[in-house]
Amino acid sequence: MTGDRFKKMRGIYAEAVTLAPALRPRSAGLSPQNLESSEELNRLPVLKKEWLMELQQLHPPFVGYLSCHSAEIGHIYVSPGPIFEPSLATDASGHGMDLMFGAAGIGPGDVVLNTWSYHLAPAGLLFDHGACAVGATVIPGGTGSSELQAEIMLKLGVTAYVGSTAFFMTLIERLEATGHALPQDWRLRHAFIGGELGDWAAKRRHLEQRYAISTWSLLRHRGLRSHWI
């Protein structure tokens, strides 16, 4: 990380400990002006998800960890737990999801079918923002309506799918059941998939080989073209 980035981080850190009182006792004696390298970052303790969930139950909603003014919040997500997750109104990249899509080569001209939930959990909107930030066109599919979404993949020329592996397989099965020959009948080239159990690497190798697509996920594994989800 360059010196300029640490300068920016020191400013963010200084503002955070001022606005979020719960951060100060967790700073491990590290003041913003002393933040010079990654070695200093290693001193900061990790707040585990289960601890945050317990603290939010005792002191809702944000336990003193909100490091912005409340008027700056654009969304509050409620992830399983539940955990309340504020998101800035100025966030146009989906918390960096644009980097994922850009690394995969997604951009202007791509049509992304986003089937993650657009309700309480953050996935739907974060992937939406990230795809839009790189210039792609997003179809906000959400969950359900598999027959319609399968039809959409063909009629709107979807080039990238975003969602669970199980729902992706449901859409494929719907298309094949209606006589469509894949991959000849679609424009799909990328599937950003996750949430499956079992040997996910084998599932993705199968999808890549049979349907001529690239699959992208949380981890790199056995040569799969994988990325962050």
* Structural domain spans, the chain: 3-88, 97-216
For residue 181, how far is the Cα from the chain centroid? 31
pLDDT in tens, 85-112: 999 999 999 999 999 999 999 999 999 9
Question: What tokens were used for 195?
Answer: 């949430």
DSSP string over the chain: --HHHHHHHHHHHHHHHHH-GGGGGGSTT--GGG--SHHHHTTSPP--HHHHHHHHHHSTTTTT---S-GGGEEEEEEETTTEEEEEETT--STTTHHHHHHHTT--TT-EEEE-S--SSSSHHHHHHHHHHHTT-EEEE--SS-HHHHHHHHHHTT--EEEEEHHHHHHHHHHHHHTT--TTTT----EEEEE---S-HHHHHHHHHHHHT-EEE-SS--TT------
What number is the average pLDDT over the span 117-124? Answer: 89
Q: How confident is the model at residue 228 (pLDDT cuts 50, 70, 90)?
A: very low
Average pLDDT over residues 204-212: 92
What tens digit of pLDDT does each residue of 41-86 get? Answer: 888 888 899 999 999 999 999 999 999 999 999 999 998 889 999 9
**pLDDT over 80 at 200, yes or no:** no
Please report the pLDDT score of residue 82 as a whole number.
92
Average pLDDT over residues 123-149: 95
**Mean predicted confidence (pLDDT) in 115-138:** 94
Residue 103 CB neighbour total at 10 angstroms: 13
Q: Which fold has domain 97-216?
A: Rossmann fold (3.40.50)
- pLDDT, residue 198, reads 67
pLDDT bin (cut points 50, 70, 90) of residue 220 is very low
Q: What is the pLDDT of residue 31?
A: 83
